Structure 1
Amino acid sequence: MGRPRSFDETAALDAAAAEFRIHGFADTSTEQLCEAAGVRRSSLYNAFISKDELFVRALERYVAGFRECRAQVLADDRLSGAERLRGLMEGVVEEERAARERGHAAGCMVVHSMMTPDLRERDERVARILDRNLREHLDLLEGAIRAGRLDGSIRADADPHEGALLVMTVISGLRVTAQAGVESGLLRRIALDGLRSLLG
């Protein structure tokens, strides 16, 4: 017998991603996933077969959503290059601030997954998703830095690839630092300090 029509796979994926991004794969139990999605274990496994399959599907959806959000800021030609980078950082800090009000850090599925190498080894799809996300994120950041070099808001001698890696490293550090309970005001100062070496 198939699962009920009322089962909403998209909502279940979003609920699962919300758990995985905070706790990571290993520390997210099936019970947590069922409670977050508001479904029985049988419904969850009828839809996604296994926790591993659910994780891959949730990671795909999570990465796609963040790709769209990043592009809206980093490819916005109404903004200077520096404004795009600051806007990206502000978005991360604001997300962490809002999550802290709910009693936890926002977390990040990508950061958790990159810090758990065996996830890449157990399913090549995870490696492909993470590698594609890295390339696309770097491309968007490099584009913003090149735009900033042209409009004068970013140093003319700033290397786009190195600058993109710097921004990614700062964002990943913000995610990890937020997990340690650092408040959003300090996260914002760290983020802006991280950008300062690129600014014109």
Structure 2
Amino acid sequence: MGRPRAFDENAVLDAAAGQFRVFGFGDSSTERLCEVAGVRRSSLYNAFTSKEELFVQALQRYLSVVDEAQGAVLRDESRDGRERLEALAGLVLAEERAAARQGHAAGCMVVGAYMTPGLRERDERIARALDDQWERRLALLAQVIRSGQADGSLRSDVHADDGALLVVTAISGLRVIAQAGAAPDRLERVFALGLRPLLTM
């Protein structure tokens, strides 16, 4: 019988996701991953077999955590549609403010994975995880937009599916310009402009 692992696997995956989301797959060395996770190289490879496997599992864990946090505000029926989108923006901007205090942008494993040539092809689980999350995210956002249109807080002349894609575009763009050095206050202003086409006046 194998010896029990001496570390919390989810904690290691969260630490690895934190590294990957800021620095990407290519610029995250095994040594750095071991350092941020607080485990020895042998322990890391015994648990995950390779850097690629660690990335796959960290991505799956990251998507689960993101879905849970964002889903909680987007499904909050005590808020109207506009307030739910604003709460989503608040989550994203809070991450960027916290990261800026540490001297970097928050990053995003999803944006990074889509922007890294060949990464989706390394393992079919990466493509499947990204594609599944893409569909879930757009469907939930479209549902929120339809709710906002029904309660009058969002414009009724915007197709809900197009509005959902606009929100995803705004968030992804925010992650990119944060990596380019835009300050959190500017991110907030730009994001508000990005959502304006959905809002009733």
TM-score by length of structure 1 reads 0.97
Residues of 2 paired with 1:48 and 1:5: CA distance?
Answer: 12
Among the aligned pairs, what percent are the same residue? 60
* Cα distance, 1:91 vs structure 2: 1.3
Q: What amino acid is aligned across from residue 199 of structure 2 in structure 1?
A: L
Alignment length (residue pairs): 200
Partner SS, residue 157 of structure 1: coil
* Cα distance, 1:3 vs structure 2: 5.3
Deviations 1:21-60 (A, max 9, x none): 0001111000110001111110000000000000000000
Partner SS, residue 197 of structure 1: helix
**What residue number does 1:196 align with?**
196
**What residue number does 1:168 align with?**
168
Pair 1:13-2:16 in alignment: no
Does structure 2 retain, via aligned residues, the 8 Å contact 1:3–1:46? Answer: no
Pair 1:57-2:57 in alignment: yes
Q: What amino acid is aligned across from residue 109 of structure 1 in structure 2?
A: M
Residues of 2 paired with 1:92 and 1:12: CA distance?
Answer: 23
**What residue number does 2:153 align with?**
153
Pair 1:142-2:111 in alignment: no
Residues of 2 paired with 1:3 and 1:11: CA distance?
Answer: 19
In structure 2, relative to structure 1, the CA distance for the partners of 1:97 and 1:83 (3 Å cut) is: same
* Cα distance, 1:11 vs structure 2: 1.2
Residues of 2 paired with 1:79 and 1:18: CA distance?
Answer: 30
* Cα distance, 1:157 vs structure 2: 1.1
Q: What amino acid is aligned across from residue 145 of structure 1 in structure 2?
A: I
Pair 1:48-2:48 in alignment: yes
Pair 1:77-2:88 in alignment: no
Residues of 1 paired with 2:49 and 2:85: CA distance?
Answer: 40
Partner SS, residue 107 of structure 1: coil
* Cα distance, 1:130 vs structure 2: 0.1
* Cα distance, 1:180 vs structure 2: 1.2
Pair 1:99-2:99 in alignment: yes
Q: What amino acid is aligned across from residue 62 of structure 2 in structure 1?
A: Y
* Cα distance, 1:73 vs structure 2: 0.9
* Cα distance, 1:5 vs structure 2: 3.5
Does structure 2 retain, via aligned residues, the 8 Å contact 1:17–1:59? Answer: yes
